[in-house]
Structure 1
């Protein structure tokens, strides 16, 4: 038996309020980011008993700090990562089908000006786009093309010198909601999900793991302690994966992680159309500029080696200046750091491959298997686009290791709310989302159009559960903040593990960008006044 400790139990911790001395499961997943949530969903759908825990909110770190893209990774072709690009391109269309409410196709414009700093030769771009269009089947996304920016809608926002460019397809995703929906599907298939819950100790036995889970109580008064007996441990702790592996196994993992910080800025809208941009920089990096939340433009990302505490990550002034400088070399309208209305940063746990720069480090993943005693699987690296395939491959190994093999299933199952035109994934849902929205608005004509659109994008068909028989705006309850009604808050607290204003305003939605100052404090006060003493425990139970 090996034993390790991550943190001392929190002061005031107490046994599970239900009196259970021990929880039993086939699979304990540590880490509630996209990979952990994806593995929990896949495993629960194959009949395994699953417990998923995270020390913070679901997707609170790297998984909600991405560039919001479902993409093959055009620039990875430069590093000859053809296998990764092919895998990501295959997943791109699968994901667009299974979550058409939180994802959508997006066309990218790449301005090209020979001699401009950082520009690849036109022939190289054409060759790259040719491969990008053909490395994997592309059934409904349009292919790439050269465009005349003088006459193209996207050209008007660019400096006059950019007269030529290229256009290609990828996809956009609400990354934080992708995590929540995977956890929700896992929960509805029998998994128990515990947020704000630390694994404070691991003990490894020949046929099982023992873990101690300490969950911070919602009222801040002490904590609830649970003991878990699991047949297999999954380490999906993202930037903390190396640390968890070291503690659980008593030695450093064989593969090292390279921690890289990626930062983004949000500024008032720089263009009024639906295209996104991909810009090349003199240092060889590329940066995206995308429409965001209607009134804003999202610009990112940076790639900076990171040595600090992932819990304390934040954008540096040099990163903000870098992104503004790059944007100003392309857009007619200049921006300055003072224009930034919001920024966010995440630490990506990349596989150490000895690449010379962070930008060149691989975005592929590795699944580490350890069967010296009770099995353990560690996830190293990865990108949000390939999370479903990663999870599938993880459970393909876990099932047989536990004597419970079962066929893969997630490629053919929509995520909660994604069954717009029926239960099976198809391209119709993502291509005809606006038509579905119009039908929704006809059924609920009393809903303000902006609210109907936001809810449709966030919840898809689950909007019916949110509305719960409401027939007029007054039935939604108190308007706690502009456009944020009690009915939605109760739904998020009851079904999506939301427990504070930050969970709601910055992860379950991006309302934090739109609401006036002080709303977060008012929302936290509202939530505090409506907590039930058993709610924290009940969320972990299967529906």
Structure 2
């Protein structure tokens, strides 16, 4: 610590390395603010890597009259697709219909509204479908003869967080993972935050403002910073997913209706699998220890088995994950009805006090808009006049056809990938295709100076070379085997048993280069 009583000085300290924190850090750094982001674990290690992996307007939110939220999300859907076409892609959803469900006319009216609440340039509209003569009807039970088809998008959620953190770093932000904020106090026009790193070293940050983007821990951090302030309450909702071997061979996803009013998705996942989820349950436990239970597994298996000819059983599950969504507390009694919109709570302790902005609620689709609104508030408080910029900017690796987001980057992604397959034909085709999806144009940084397979270093596991691990450690804050196999990639699903332990041993024997 310096004689002044702090080690680092900045305009903005962001606490929380999920999608909201990373998005705010990116936006603020791009407006010229000096930004520090701290995250107690790895980036996207909690809620932001436990989503259903969808960029969507939220069709079912129309049922709760959340038209403003749906419109906002529908607009953002195409903004995000253009900004990161490598980690996102359009996806068509099939909704089978049967007697006893929501009336077909009501669903059709909802889809009509869904199509026209916001302008579409990339995604086709909805339509009815006769499942008996449609490829998506083949895995379904014969009683589901009719349904609907509509569009949304898919996203690699954990990589979306990392790309936002990378862009923040490229604009000058300091990103500190595995660094907890253990104390936070305001003294006049400055905040003093004590940070504790994984190595046990403490540092003090003096900041003109703080963003509390701690997700499920937002209320706890706010109570620490402002113990006398009554704040907006959070309602913690557990959402769990299961992954099974691929149930169907086509590229459509399904949205299934249940008798209890909930909906569940079945989505093509990682080429060889189907992702099924999610549940919605109030959660009172430790967010660090959230996990699926047997009842949730049975619920998801039983629901999709009502639709698919081949039943899905608990013993078919090859992987599960759960997350705690920190939603805004409202009057809804049922967890599935709790609003997915966000609220921003700004406290400046009167005129001239250092502002603290706390983030409540939100969903991954609207993270960029949330960040823009949050930084607008902070810039006003801090006297920064730089305008919003992220709506017209690519995320790292997303500049397939130029520096600004383009429709063609989404519509012609396959052509761009095929050019890479030719450029790097000395690598296995499936490896180049995976790199293209994960890294976009950053593939050229990963492969810089390499012209033959031997240049990739040791093959640590099938399809995982030392060169990629080095890249992830250097540019993406990867430290552990889980960071690499489950958040930066989903290789953990594809590798043989023991891969995590073997990789952890290799990492310990080969320290990352500074």
Task: Show CA shifts across 1:464-508 (max 9, x none).
Answer: 110012111111000011100000000000000000000000000
Could you tell me which of 161, 165, 189 is aligned with 1:207? 189
Could you tell me which of 283, 288, 307 is aligned with 1:311? 288
Could you tell me which of 425, 439, 464 is aligned with 2:405? 425
- Root-mean-square deviation (CA, aligned residues, Å) is 1.2
1:337 corresponding residue in structure 2: 314
2:460 corresponding residue in structure 1: 480
2: distance between equivalents of 1:242 and 1:264?
Answer: 26
1: distance between equivalents of 2:384 and 2:208?
Answer: 12
1:181 corresponding residue in structure 2: 163
2: distance between equivalents of 1:528 and 1:178?
Answer: 27
1: distance between equivalents of 2:434 and 2:309?
Answer: 30
Q: Secondary structure at the match of 1:231?
A: strand
2: distance between equivalents of 1:405 and 1:380?
Answer: 25
The answer to whether the 8 A contact 1:396-1:405 is kept is no
1: distance between equivalents of 2:135 and 2:230?
Answer: 51
1:243 corresponding residue in structure 2: 220
Aligned ranges for residues 147-226 of structure 1 at < 5 Å? 147-217=129-199, 223-226=200-203
Task: Show CA shifts across 1:45-86 (max 9, x none).
Answer: 000000001000000000000000000000000000000000
Is 1:232 the equivalent of 2:232? no
The answer to whether the 8 A contact 2:22-2:161 is kept is yes
The answer to whether the 8 A contact 2:219-2:231 is kept is no
List runs of 5+ in structure 2 lacking aligned partners.
none
For residue 203 of structure 1, report the CA deviation from its aligned partner: 1.6
Is 1:59 the equivalent of 2:44? yes
1: distance between equivalents of 2:191 and 2:167?
Answer: 25
1:37 corresponding residue in structure 2: 22
Is 1:389 the equivalent of 2:332? no
Aligned ranges for residues 98-497 of structure 1 at < 5 Å? 98-115=83-100, 119-217=101-199, 223-251=200-228, 253-372=230-349, 373-497=353-477
2: distance between equivalents of 1:323 and 1:145?
Answer: 27
Structure 1's consecutive aligned runs of 4 or more residues displaced over 3 angstroms after TM superposition are: none
List runs of 5+ in structure 1 lacking aligned partners.
1-14, 218-222, 536-543
For residue 253 of structure 1, report the CA deviation from its aligned partner: 4.1
Is 1:509 the equivalent of 2:494? no
For residue 183 of structure 1, report the CA deviation from its aligned partner: 0.1
1:529 corresponding residue in structure 2: 509
Q: Normalized against structure 1, the TM-score is what?
A: 0.93
For residue 404 of structure 1, report the CA deviation from its aligned partner: 1.2
2: distance between equivalents of 1:35 and 1:398?
Answer: 15
The answer to whether the 8 A contact 1:242-1:253 is kept is no
Q: Secondary structure at the match of 1:171?
A: strand
Task: Show CA shifts across 1:121-172 (max 9, x none).
Answer: 0011001000000001111210000001000110001001110000000000
Task: Show CA shifts across 1:329-358 (max 9, x none).
Answer: 000111111110000000000001110200
For residue 224 of structure 1, report the CA deviation from its aligned partner: 2.1
Task: Show CA shifts across 1:192-224 (max 9, x none).
Answer: 00000011111211110001111103xxxxx22
Task: Show CA shifts across 1:406-455 (max 9, x none).
Answer: 10000000000000011110111011111100000111111111111110
